[in-house]
Amino acid sequence: MIIDFLNDGKSVYIEGTDVAEDLQGTALFDFFGTSFDGNGGYFNVQNVSSTIGTITDPILLNYQYSSESDYGVDELSGSEGTICLSSQEGIGRVTFWDGPNKEYKVIMSSILFGSLIDGIGDNNKATLMSRYYSFLKIPPYSVDPQYDPDKVALIGNEPNPFSIATQISFSIPANQLQESSLIIYNIRGRKIREFNELPNNGCLSWDGKDENGRRISNGVYLYQLQTDTYSEVKRMIMIR
């Protein structure tokens, strides 16, 4: 499915601490122009900095060092693609490529976007995501949307496709929050997980696990925001 998507000239962002290791040997791996150099170890990403002259230059961000998301982060290099973010000691963590003949655009990240820590000025996740969007030619929207307090809306999720976790953004007036739910289904319509206590900041993180704490399999999933007067469904893709 994703290969067909890329062959149609589309763009894909993919992330996960083991993303390159897990994709090795698959037909999809070659589409990212990336080499897997190792699966890292304990506590190996303290910060990430951009490569001069690339799409992320001159961003510098700290990472959630000594956290779960810092364990076993894949080490990347560009076979055809280019490293745009490296951790300390110059180890590649994010690569980008526009295909053999500039026919599609891809970004592979072994660091988790949600584990980056905002710094000063333009050294923040919103700026980084806008750089990603610009390269991928995706119309940007705010990483931290300005919500209309009187409007219910299901905004979307990022990253999409995702491999470890994804952030689902929505807008719900405070007086409707307790009567609202967000439900995730597989493509056949079977309920995977339901969230009935939604955060009031309009952003819910889903770790790709079902109601029993089991990791879901690769595929297309649907997520529905539902209130007494509103219902909307969007689609996301899980790939490891």
Residue spans of the domains in the chain: they are 2-136, 153-238
For residue 124, what are the contacts with CB-CB under 8 A and spacing of at least 6?
Answer: 61, 118
Backbone φ and ψ for 162, nearest 5 degrees, come out as -135, 165
pLDDT of residue 149: 55
C-alpha span between 185 and 74 (Å, rounded):
30
Mean per-residue pLDDT pooled into runs of 10, the chain (240 residues): 88 92 93 93 87 95 87 93 95 96 94 90 87 79 52 85 84 83 90 89 86 87 89 85
36: exposed, middle or buried (C-beta count within 10 Å: 0-12, 13-18, 19+)? buried
Which DSSP category does 91 fall into?
Answer: E
pLDDT of residue 142: 47
Whether domain 153-238 has CATH 2.60.40.3580: yes
Using a cut of 0.75, tell me whether the model's pTM lies above it: no
81: exposed, middle or buried (C-beta count within 10 Å: 0-12, 13-18, 19+)? buried
C-alpha span between 69 and 111 (Å, rounded):
8
Task: Look up residue 113 and give its amino acid.
Answer: F
